[in-house]
Each structure stands twice: as C-alpha cells, then as structure tokens.
C-alpha cells in the first residue's frame, strides 16, 4: 500500500507540472437545431463535422433527441457540415467563430438518390477497422443468429475459439475478456461455459484491442476483447422479438425492449434457450518399454450427450440528472441448468494387438449455474468538450453446483461391475469493482487522464469425491481427491496517461501500477499460501497520419498473466482413471513485453489494416506431463499426471492483416490472415521442453445480396497445424452458411444458418512422452442447422441502423484506448 501512495503522489506532482505548461485554450460553442424539412421533426443522431479551411477534421458531434447540438471549438475560421443518412448534406464554408454562434434551425432535404441506395451503401460493415482497434458488429453477421457469445467470438478478426471453447487472440489463449469495459459475472466461474450461455442477441459489438493503453487492466498478455451489450437509444417505446429453432434440438426466444423519454432511458434484454449439443472424441495410446519397443496399446472412444437450459435477463435505467450528468443502473441475472452424459469405452491390447480387456465408464452430471450482478455508473461532463469524470461500482455473485455419478464396469473378457463413484463440486464467487476515471483536455490537441480501480475477488471451491464400499454398501469420502479451496485475490490499480497531437503525429504515454494481494487456504490440510506484489506497467502508443486515409501506429505495453484458481489448487482431479490433473500453489505471474507496428490504408472500395507484432514472456506457465503407476481395481496401471509450472521463457513473432473489400454494391468481402511463430525455452526433470512452433489461421466472410433482396453469407475458417514441446495438432477447416430475408415491410427478418457445414470442426492432435504416444480427435459439437425469426416494432431499420455518428476523428481517434 505504501507503493500505491507513493505512485499517487508522484503522478499528481508530474501531472500538475504538465497542466501548468498547457493552459487550456478557451473554446466557444457552435449551437443549432437540425430538422427534417418535409416533416419538420427533429433529427436525432445527425452528424456535425467541423473542419479547418484545409479540410482537416477538427472536431464534431451529434444531435440529441430534440435535434439540438452544441460543439465547442477555439476561435477561428471553419467549414461546417451537417449530415444525416439519406439526406442532402448542409454545408457552411469559411464560417468565422469568435463568440458563441447560433446556426439556427437547419432543415435537411431528403436525397432521393441516396435513399434508393441506402440499403446497400449505408449499412455498417460487419468489421469496422479503426486506428486503435477492430470492431465486429454482431448484428450484421447472419451466421450467429440464435447462437452464443462463443459463436460471436469465433467470427471476430484475430480471434480463434477451439473445439473446447477456449478463446485465443493471435494464437495466445491469455486474453482478457471484458463486458462493457469491465470484468463481469457474464464471463463466469468457468469462462468457456459462461460464453456459451450468453446469447448472441444480447451483444451489440466486440472490440479487439491488441495494444491497450494504461486505462485498461494489465491482465491479459495477448490483449483485450471488450464485449459491448445492447442498449437501445431510439426515442419512445421500441424493441424486437426473436425466436429460433434448429437441429440437433435447439430452440429459444428473446426480447429486447427500450423506452426513452427526455430524461430517462429504460432498457431490457431477456432470453431463454434450450440446446442439445452432442459430441464425440477418440484416443489411441501406444506404450513403450525403456528400450523403445512397444509394450501395449489403449484405444478409447467417448460420446457426449449434453442438454442445457439457459435464461438471461438484463434491466437498466439511464437517468439524465442534468444536461451534463447521468446515472445508469443495471441488474443482470443469469441461470442455466444442464445434464451431460459422457460414455467412454476403453480397450486395452497387448504388444501384438490382442485384446486383453474392455471396460466402460459412464459419467452422468447435473449442473446448475447462477449469476446476479448489480452495476452503477455516474458520468459528469464539464463545460470543456471531452472534460469528464466517470465513477463505476459493480457487485456480482456467482454459484456453480455440479453432481456427477460415475459407473465403471468391464465387458471383456468377463462382465464385472466395478464400484461406482460420486463427485460434487460447489463453487461460489463474489466480486466487487470500484473504478474512477478523470479525463482533462489540455489546450486544443492534448489530453491528460488518470484513474483508480479496486477489483476484489473471493472464490470458494468445495470438491467432494465419494467412492463406494461394497462391504458396507455405502459411499465414503475419498480424501485423496476431496478438498476445499479458499481463494482471495484483490487487485488495486492506479494509472495516468498523457496524449498530444502535433500536426500529423500523435502520442499517448501511460503508466499503470497494480498491487496484487493473493491468499490461498486449503481447509483439509490447513495450509495457507500468500503472495503480495506490486508491478509497474508502462504503455506507449504512437501514431502518424499521412492523410485522412493512411496512417501508421506503433504500440508498446507491458502486461501480465495471473494464474487463476484452478491453476493453483494442488489437489488432484481426474477426468478418467488414467488421466489426472492438479494445480501448483507456487505459480508466479507471467510477464510479457509486447510491441505492435500497425498500418492502415483506405481506398474507395478497399480497406487494409495490417500489423507486425512481437512478444517476449518470462515465467511462462506450461503444463508438464509426468507418469505414475497406481493400483486401479487391483491392477497396476500407468497414470498420466499433468500440472502447471513456471517453466520457460517464450518469444512470439507474427504478422496479420484484415481487409474489407466491396467490389460491387451487392457483394462484400472481409478477410483476415494471421501468421505467428513461438519459440519456447525450458527444461523440467531433465526433459527439454524447447519448441519452435509455427502456425497460422485465416478467415474469409463473403456477403452477397441475391435477387429478391436475399442476403447470402458464407464464412470460411482454416486453422493451420502447429507443434509444441510434447504435442502437435493437425489443421482444421470449418465453413458456416447463412441466408436472410426481410419481410413484412422490413419490420421482420427470417434467416437460415448452418454451422460447420461439412462437419469438420474437429481437433486432431498427437501428444508424446518418453514412454507414450497418444493420437486423439475431439468434436465438441456436431453440425447445427438453425432457423431464426426476428420482428422489430417502432424501429426505423434502414435509417437508424446505418447511423455511424461521429467517430472522433483527429485527436480523439488517437487518444481512444
């Protein structure tokens, strides 16, 4: 805590000196009102763009629900334009601004030609490419209708989701996932399952940030994925209803409502979904003697039957306290319950491939997850444009309860029913978030920012394993596996950053300090393990705008990966009799230094965003594999044990590019390609874990408007092969297909999509040790077909969905994190 106090004092001293040297330049208001000339009604979200006489964007804004705007600029001469989609642009040239200037009521005329083309040219792209981030607009992707957040992320540029639901950014699984810019219970206790339970309909867009500024948490060595949830903005009462059904059994419904008045905005998203997700896996293992000869074989096949019911609701109120301040409160509730049945058939063969034994293991599991989260936000805007203060408070509680019954019996050479097993896991987490951010414009092209954050987490995991005693005909506690883990992790952070634009050059320099207080208690052994450390995380973001359509960026950031609770729990858990996993209480964080060089170029019909990146990691966490011979049902059996350690250092190199191409009004193409190489250097138990892994992936999205105004979207994804220290993975191809049609005077949309058209989304891998080699295949979910229907009421689909508003331009574009 002493370090935090010292950092605050130093930050205040430095920033006071900066502020003294940059006295604010007085800004003057340009005000007015924009209306529809034909209807005389105000136009909300009309765009006001202020340019210099050299046609460079200076600033801008949008109109409010009454069509009013107030844009502040320094004294000078400007070109002013007022724009609204499908209306003619209103322009004022060489306007002198020397005092508050009222432009009066501005009437915009409908542009007949633009209106006829609005359906094709005004719609937002599925992927928007910005200088500092990529933005994936969920509403434009037909292939995720009726899907989940996991399906959404699987279509995001630079992101991959493997068959088990693990999310990677540029091939690195340590990615920080935020919801509305904050950690959230929506990500849940087990992130992959939680993402599958969050409906895609609740998500507006996803931001991909690979070089975060000091404003963001240092957690996540790969970068940040920020999921933005829907919140209606249109005036009055409006919303949409959706229903979907598919095969394998999958059906659901959702509703999005919004009611907005002059002072308040009420919004709600509620959805229910039932999903049946059958899957399968297989594994063939060869065992070797010390001299390298084959000793035996083991072949396994597993089928998965999964059923899940999920319910989500989110209600919020945004209240305008004054013209410059607002208070927003939201309540989120989520509940899911599911039944999983995994049937494993195991064949053991001798060195000559003769069958010695066949046994079957059936695991039946029931699971109930529940999350409730309360959020409160206060935003105060000051007189100077961009000058603001933001407070956030969030409290969340999540519970996860699972009960499993495992039966095990031999079918060859004789039928033998082995003793069953029962597992029960109870998890409860509580999270408190307190956050404040202050933004102060300094002069015309500079900005200072600082903030504070406290992220307090408590997690209790109670894991009970019971074996059956045939003598007493009762279950008893297996103390070798049963355990209770109490985990607390509090992270306190402060940050400060300063940015400035000098002609075409911009920079944003930041420093973040985070203190981590970690406590682990093992109730069974009454052992405690505490760690406390403070680290500094500098960030540098530089930008050079050659012109309005071409720019270059360079980013540096230091980040870390804190081990999660399941990495730290030292007690063993078993997924099968021969495969055991356990954690390591002594794990330290992984630290990464990242460099990113980006290039953005826009042409009339084509946009290119490319980057070259490098990451150096120390204390890298790797899973190592050891072997042990244990007694299983009276038979000495070789058991594989995996646990994480701070094994190695790692260097990652890569390059990527994302393109948007519109060859015709009726055809859009988005393509992304990512190539990366990782070099790992490490050794454990005299075994080298050095590896030199090269992999790549590419994604292409084609959207075509067919005759009859039917939209046709095809998404193709290919993940190249890769190889690590103890494993290698084959390449994987997946294709998704969707068709969509607007009906009922464009108040409704019906769509059909097929996920994994050729049923090829399977992970095929090989792992090996000095005495084993295993070849496996895993498919979490088989091909899925979905039919979706959406009805919109009181929504102007063509006009409002196409409003991009003012993106920031100029200095704002450079300073956004």
Digit-coded pLDDT (tens) for 284-294: 999 999 898 99
Convert the pLDDT of each residue in 91-130 to its tens digit: 999 888 988 899 999 998 876 544 433 333 333 456 666 6
Higher pLDDT, 213 or 157: 213
pLDDT for the residue 305: 94
pLDDT for the residue 812: 38
Contact criterion met (CB below 8 Å) for 64 and 36: no
Does residue 12 carry a pLDDT above 50?
A: no
Residue 817: pLDDT band (50, 70, 90) is: very low
pLDDT for the residue 16: 43
Closest residue by Cα to residue 143 from 784, 797, 808, 815 = 784
Average pLDDT of every residue of the chain: 85
Does residue 188 carry a pLDDT above 60?
A: no
Residues 6+ apart with CB under 8 A from 56: 548, 810
C-alpha 51 chain-centroid distance: 36
Higher pLDDT, 626 or 731: 731
- The predicted model gives 33-41 an average pLDDT of 82
Does residue 653 carry a pLDDT above 90?
A: yes
Share of the chain above pLDDT 90, in %: 52
pLDDT for the residue 386: 85
Convert the pLDDT of each residue in 555-606 to its tens digit: 999 999 999 888 998 888 776 677 788 899 999 999 999 999 999 998 988 9
Higher pLDDT, 252 or 137: 252
Contact criterion met (CB below 8 Å) for 608 and 600: yes
Report the range of poorest mean pLDDT among 48-57, 309-318, 643-652: 48-57
Residue 185: pLDDT band (50, 70, 90) is: low
Give the count of beta carbons closer than 10 Å to the beta carbon of residue 433: 19
pLDDT for the residue 295: 94
Closest residue by Cα to residue 142 from 817, 602, 706 = 706
Residue 441: pLDDT band (50, 70, 90) is: very high
Q: Length of the chain, please? A: 817
| Dist. CA 191–CA 148, nearest whole Å | 13
- Joined together, the tokens standing for residue 600 give 């953005």
Higher pLDDT, 128 or 527: 527
Residue 193: pLDDT band (50, 70, 90) is: low
Does residue 1 carry a pLDDT above 80?
A: no
Does residue 194 carry a pLDDT above 80?
A: no
| Residue 698, CA distances (Å) to 13, 157, 732 in order | 48, 9, 11
| Dist. CA 189–CA 552, nearest whole Å | 39
Residue 61: pLDDT band (50, 70, 90) is: confident
- Considering 203-207, 407-411, 575-579, the range whose residues carry the highest mean pLDDT is 407-411
Does residue 792 carry a pLDDT above 50?
A: yes
| Dist. CA 377–CA 368, nearest whole Å | 30
Does residue 526 carry a pLDDT above 70?
A: yes
Convert the pLDDT of each residue in 777-787 to its tens digit: 999 888 999 99
Residue 46: pLDDT band (50, 70, 90) is: confident
Give me the residue spans of the domains in the chain.
Answer: 25-114, 236-815
pLDDT for the residue 575: 66
Report the range of poorest mean pLDDT among 74-83, 231-240, 473-482: 231-240
Residue 164: pLDDT band (50, 70, 90) is: low
pLDDT for the residue 192: 57
Convert the pLDDT of each residue in 238-255 to its tens digit: 888 999 999 999 999 999
Contact criterion met (CB below 8 Å) for 53 and 73: no
Fold designation for 236-815? Maltoporin; Chain A (2.40.170)
Report the range of poorest mean pLDDT among 54-58, 130-134, 279-283, 764-768: 130-134
- The predicted model gives 382-405 an average pLDDT of 93
| Dist. CA 648–CA 618, nearest whole Å | 7
| Dist. CA 364–CA 813, nearest whole Å | 52
CATH numeric code, 25-114: 2.60.40.10
Does residue 314 carry a pLDDT above 80?
A: yes
Closest residue by Cα to residue 422 from 363, 501, 344, 487 = 363
Does residue 623 carry a pLDDT above 50?
A: yes
pLDDT for the residue 167: 84
Residues 6+ apart with CB under 8 A from 147: 199, 200, 755, 786
- Considering 38-42, 133-137, 289-293, the range whose residues carry the highest mean pLDDT is 289-293
DSSP 87: B
Residues 6+ apart with CB under 8 A from 452: 434, 435, 436, 493, 494
Give the count of beta carbons closer than 10 Å to the beta carbon of residue 104: 9
Coil, helix or strand at residue 420: coil
Coil, helix or strand at residue 526: coil
- Joined together, the tokens standing for residue 712 give 């046709």
Q: Which residue has the tokens 């899940």?
A: 308
Convert the pLDDT of each residue in 13-36 to its tens digit: 444 444 444 444 677 889 999 998
| Dist. CA 536–CA 512, nearest whole Å | 6
Give the count of beta carbons closer than 10 Å to the beta carbon of residue 98: 9
629-636 long-range contacts (CB < 8 A, ≥24 apart) are 632/577, 632/578, 633/418
Does residue 158 carry a pLDDT above 70?
A: yes
- Joined together, the tokens standing for residue 546 give 């050659």
Contact criterion met (CB below 8 Å) for 360 and 415: no
């Amino acid at each position: 805590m002493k370090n935090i106090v010292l950092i605050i004092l130093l930050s205040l001293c430095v920033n006071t000196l900066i502020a003294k040297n940059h006295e604010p330049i007085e800004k003057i208001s340009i005000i007015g009102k924009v209306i529809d000339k034909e209807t005389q009604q105000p136009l909300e979200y009309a765009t006001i763009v202020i340019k210099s006489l050299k046609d460079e964007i200076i600033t801008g804004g949008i109109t409010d629900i009454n069509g009013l705007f107030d844009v502040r600029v320094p004294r000078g001469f400007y070109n002013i334009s007022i724009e609204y989609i499908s209306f003619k642009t209103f322009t004022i040239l060489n306007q002198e601004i020397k005092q508050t200037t009222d432009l009066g009521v501005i009437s915009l005329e409908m542009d007949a030609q633009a209106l006829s083309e609005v359906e094709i040219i005004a719609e937002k792209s599925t992927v928007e490419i910005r200088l500092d981030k990529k933005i994936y607009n969920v509403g434009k992707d037909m292939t995720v209708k009726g899907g989940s957040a996991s399906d959404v992320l699987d279509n995001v540029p630079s992101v991959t989701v493997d068959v088990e639901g693990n999310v990677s950014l540029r091939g690195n699984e340590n990615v920080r996932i935020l919801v509305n810019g904050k950690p959230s219970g929506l990500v849940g206790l087990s992130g992959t399952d939680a993402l599958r339970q969050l409906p895609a309909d609740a998500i507006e867009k996803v931001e991909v940030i690979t070089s975060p500024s000091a404003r963001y948490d240092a957690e996540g060595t790969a970068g940040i994925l920020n999921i933005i949830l829907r919140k209606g903005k249109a005036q009055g009462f409006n919303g949409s209803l959706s229903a979907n059904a598919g095969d394998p059994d999958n059906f659901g419904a959702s509703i999005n409502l919004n009611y907005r008045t002059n002072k308040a905005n009420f919004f709600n998203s509620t959805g229910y979904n039932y999903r049946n997700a059958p899957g399968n896996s297989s594994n063939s293992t060869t065992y070797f003697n010390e001299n390298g000869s084959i000793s035996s074989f083991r072949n396994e096949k597993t089928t998965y039957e999964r059923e899940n019911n999920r319910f989500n609701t989110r209600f919020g109120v945004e209240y305008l306290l004054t013209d410059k301040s607002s208070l927003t409160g939201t309540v989120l509730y989520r509940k899911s319950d599911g039944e999983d049945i995994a049937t494993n058939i195991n064949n053991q063969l001798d060195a000559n491939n003769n069958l010695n034994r066949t046994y079957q293991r059936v695991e039946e599991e029931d699971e109930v997850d529940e999350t409730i989260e309360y959020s409160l936000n206060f935003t105060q805007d000051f007189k100077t444009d961009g000058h603001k203060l933001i407070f956030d408070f969030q409290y969340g509680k999540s519970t996860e309860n699972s009960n499993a019954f495992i039966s095990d019996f031999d079918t060859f050479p004789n039928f033998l029913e082995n003793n069953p097993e029962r597992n029960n896991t109870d998890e409860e987490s509580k999270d408190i978030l307190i956050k404040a951010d202050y933004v102060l414009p300094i002069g015309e092209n500079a900005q200072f920012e600082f903030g504070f954050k406290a992220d307090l987490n408590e997690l209790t995991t109670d894991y009970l394993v019971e074996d059956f005693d045939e003598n007493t005909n009762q279950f008893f506690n297996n103390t070798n596996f049963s355990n209770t883990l109490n985990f607390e992790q509090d992270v306190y952070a402060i940050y400060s950053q300063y940015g400035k634009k000098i002609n075409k050059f911009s920079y944003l320099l930041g420093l973040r300090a985070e203190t981590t207080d970690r406590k682990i208690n093992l109730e069974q052994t009454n052992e405690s393990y505490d760690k406390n450390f403070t680290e500094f995380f500098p960030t540098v973001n530089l930008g050079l705008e050659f012109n309005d359509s071409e720019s270059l960026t360079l980013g540096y950031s230091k980040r870390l990966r804190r081990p999660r609770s399941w990495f730290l729990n030292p007690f063993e858990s078993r997924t099968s009799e021969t495969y055991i996993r356990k954690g390591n209480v002594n794990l330290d964080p992984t630290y990464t230094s990242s460099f990113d060089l980006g290039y953005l170029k826009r042409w009339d019909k084509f946009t290119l965003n490319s980057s070259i990146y490098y990451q150096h990691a120390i204390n890298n966490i790797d899973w190592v594999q050891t072997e042990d011979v244990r007694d299983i049902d009276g038979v000495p059996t070789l058991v594989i044990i995996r646990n994480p350690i701070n094994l190695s250092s790692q260097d990652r190199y890569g390059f990527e590019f994302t393109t948007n191409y519109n060859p015709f009004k009726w055809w859009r193409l988005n393509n992304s390609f990512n190539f990366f190489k990782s070099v790992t250097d490490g050794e454990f138990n005299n075994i080298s874990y050095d590896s030199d892994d090269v992999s790549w992936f590419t994604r292409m999205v084609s959207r075509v408007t067919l005759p009859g105004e039917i939209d046709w979207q095809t998404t193709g994804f290919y993940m190249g092969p890769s190889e690590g220290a103890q494993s290698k993975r084959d390449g994987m191809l997946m294709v998704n297909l969707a068709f969509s049609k607007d009906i009922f005077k464009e108040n409704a949309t019906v769509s059909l999509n097929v996920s994994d058209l050729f049923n090829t989304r399977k992970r095929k891998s090989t792992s090996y040790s000095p005495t084993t080699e295993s070849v496996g295949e895993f498919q979490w979910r088989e091909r899925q077909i979905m039919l979706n229907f959406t009805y919109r009421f009181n929504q102007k689909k063509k006009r409002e969905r196409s409003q991009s508003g003012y993106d920031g331009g100029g200095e704002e574009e450079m300073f956004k994190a």
